[in-house]
Chains A and B, each alone.
Chain A
């Protein structure tokens, strides 16, 4: 009996410990974000401005974040989902409707990035930054071989692949690779027509023997080392690969190649959770991040695309002049955002993907 009592008191102690931080906490903003997705100096400046502390928790995949929030985890104020994850959060009623009067800097956002189909009136979200899925390539090698990297043909056309066999990687992601193949064929990335999807899968199967690997995690390194000459990847990663190549004193550079057929645009937005402990700080943070100078720091750090007009003047010229990451209006029209698929479409796509992977 005594043991039972001591167990009970231990449990009570644990519970009170758990509750204690909330009782004496100073002002804390909990940011649920991607890793390395805000510049450390920006965080410091915001902390000084709001006289609060920013605590970040990270996820490396939208699904991780959705799963955790769906299960009922709370305590986060702001979350930074990508388009289709934003849609899920809105449907699940997890987000707080935004009072635009509290975010005067909203005027800085380029209207081209507002009113997406995920949140047509921006009732719940404010664009934060974006990446484009494209090709990263070794400029020295590709110039030598005389291959221009301006089309998805580089990773799908056997005639071109013949010359770079075993030096190409593609993303290990059904949605990204299918999107590239669909774009190359002139279709939408969100195509649901089974015949067109089948066509895309066949294209992938024909090109697969020429690829070195499906690689979503270490292609930055492979590009930098020089093992891989063309990688299907995210614009931020290609930027990082080039920085690493420069730091390692390589003779070649890793450049961005945005296919003329169009590509996948992934816009990450800031949103406030409905059960946020500190919506006041969340508003303050969003407004702060929409200030051009603060917003520019992320682009300067990781080479991300920036939907903020006011930020452009603070972005380093070498980042801003990159037409692949800051495309012209005409090219921008060819970029598409990924939708959530209906269960039936997802099953069909999964089946095609399995075929592609096992062949």
Chain B
């Protein structure tokens, strides 16, 4: 086997630095003893202490996590079903219905969802944000699942059916385990999309409902304080723990095959 050239290593290193340096800076400045994200002054836990006392931001972070978790779960179930249906029935209309939300501009979706919720007389709040997030995440999950199904050997399901499995059993025992990595990838994608969505959330959140992106964005005018770095660091830590946990509990799920 030929060893990859040093050029490839160099490109990879530059790529990873580009991805991770900004994150590292966010973490480092969360311990900086200055309100400015500009220069290193000294080490402090002050921003974490301030964050602990900032009920508003903690509430926003909790809201974001709850919304993202519910969205990831619901969008994955519905998206997997949609992806399966698209693969199975080869309809022309279905993909258009499922995938349009990915293509239309977020702002359009935000406004139209808001108008729709107002029409239904639904009180805007966490639930309306969840519904909106689920609506735009389904398409992403469906795409990932469908492409996985397209690469799957059809004869495996047929074999299961030959051996007497009902369609439901064949799906549960054969198809689902095979497409699991795509389902997990879709769920992670839905989680990420939900937790950092601003535009759609802005329109569908009601009076008194704040998510982290909404709070951070509203702070831009007065310049973002390192409390934001602190809360971001904690969220990164949480995500990291979840990913490590997932790979320990089910080592196969995060790999593509």
| Interface residues in chain A, defined as those with a beta carbon under 8 Å from any beta carbon in chain B | 14-15, 17-19, 21-22, 28, 30, 32, 34-36, 55-60, 64, 67-68, 71-76, 217-218, 220-221, 224-225, 236-237, 240, 244, 247-248, 302
Q: Which of B41, B115, B203, B223 is within 8 Å of A218, CB to CB?
A: B223
Which residues in window 205-249 of B have CB below 8 A to A? 205-210, 214-215, 217-223
Quick check: B122 and A221 within 8 Å, CB to CB? Answer: no
A82 shortest CB reach to chain B, Å: 12
Quick check: A75 and B115 within 8 Å, CB to CB? Answer: no
Quick check: B221 and A60 within 8 Å, CB to CB? Answer: yes
Q: Say which one of B32-40, B85-93, B96-104, B188-196 lies at the interface with A.
A: B32-40
Residues of B within 8 A of A218 (CB): 223
Residues of B within 8 A of A74 (CB): 118, 124, 207
Quick check: B125 and A57 within 8 Å, CB to CB? Answer: no
By size class, the interface of chain B is 35 or more
Residues of B within 8 A of A302 (CB): 222
Quick check: A57 and B122 within 8 Å, CB to CB? Answer: no
Quick check: A71 and B111 within 8 Å, CB to CB? Answer: yes
6 closest Cβ contacts across the A-B interface? A75-B207, A55-B208, A58-B218, A72-B118, A35-B218, A30-B207
Quick check: B131 and A68 within 8 Å, CB to CB? Answer: no
| A56 to B208 Cα, complex, angstroms | 6
For A219, the closest partner residue in chain B by CB is: B223
| A56 to B124 Cα, complex, angstroms | 15
| A244 to B34 Cα, complex, angstroms | 8
Quick check: B114 and A71 within 8 Å, CB to CB? Answer: yes
Quick check: A244 and B202 within 8 Å, CB to CB? Answer: no
Beyond A71-B114, A221-B36, A221-B37, whether A57 also contacts B207 by CB under 8 A is yes
A16 shortest CB reach to chain B, Å: 10
Contact sample, A vs B, 20 pairs, CB 8 Å cutoff = A14-B131, A15-B122, A15-B127, A18-B128, A30-B208, A35-B215, A36-B219, A56-B208, A57-B210, A67-B111, A73-B203, A73-B206, A74-B118, A218-B223, A221-B36, A224-B38, A225-B36, A240-B223, A248-B41, A302-B222
Residues of A within 8 A of B208 (CB): 28, 30, 55-57, 75
A28 shortest CB reach to chain B, Å: 7
Extra inter-chain contacts (8) besides given A28-B208, A221-B36, A302-B222, CB under 8 Å: A15-B122, A21-B123, A34-B218, A60-B220, A71-B111, A73-B118, A75-B123, A221-B223
Beyond A57-B207, A248-B36, whether A217 also contacts B123 by CB under 8 A is no
Quick check: B34 and A248 within 8 Å, CB to CB? Answer: yes
Residues of B within 8 A of A57 (CB): 205, 207-210, 214
Quick check: A14 and B206 within 8 Å, CB to CB? Answer: no
Quick check: A60 and B207 within 8 Å, CB to CB? Answer: no
For B119, the closest partner residue in chain A by CB is: A72
Residues of B within 8 A of A73 (CB): 114, 118, 124, 203, 206-207
Residues of A within 8 A of B219 (CB): 35-36, 60
Beyond A76-B207, A225-B38, whether A71 also contacts B115 by CB under 8 A is yes
| A35 to B210 Cα, complex, angstroms | 12
A328 shortest CB reach to chain B, Å: 28
Q: Which of A18, A28, A60, A248 is within 8 Å of B125, CB to CB?
A: A18
Which residues in window 102-142 of B have CB below 8 A to A? 111, 114-115, 118, 122-125, 127-128, 130-131
For B115, the closest partner residue in chain A by CB is: A71
Beyond A30-B208, A64-B202, A224-B38, whether A18 also contacts B127 by CB under 8 A is yes
| A244 to B36 Cα, complex, angstroms | 8
Quick check: A240 and B222 within 8 Å, CB to CB? Answer: yes
| A73 to B220 Cα, complex, angstroms | 23
Beyond A58-B210, A71-B115, whether A21 also contacts B125 by CB under 8 A is yes
| A125 to B41 Cα, complex, angstroms | 45
Residues of A within 8 A of B128 (CB): 18
Quick check: B118 and A247 within 8 Å, CB to CB? Answer: no
Residues of B within 8 A of A224 (CB): 36, 38
Residues of A within 8 A of B39 (CB): 225, 248
B44 shortest CB reach to chain A, Å: 13
Quick check: A32 and B207 within 8 Å, CB to CB? Answer: yes
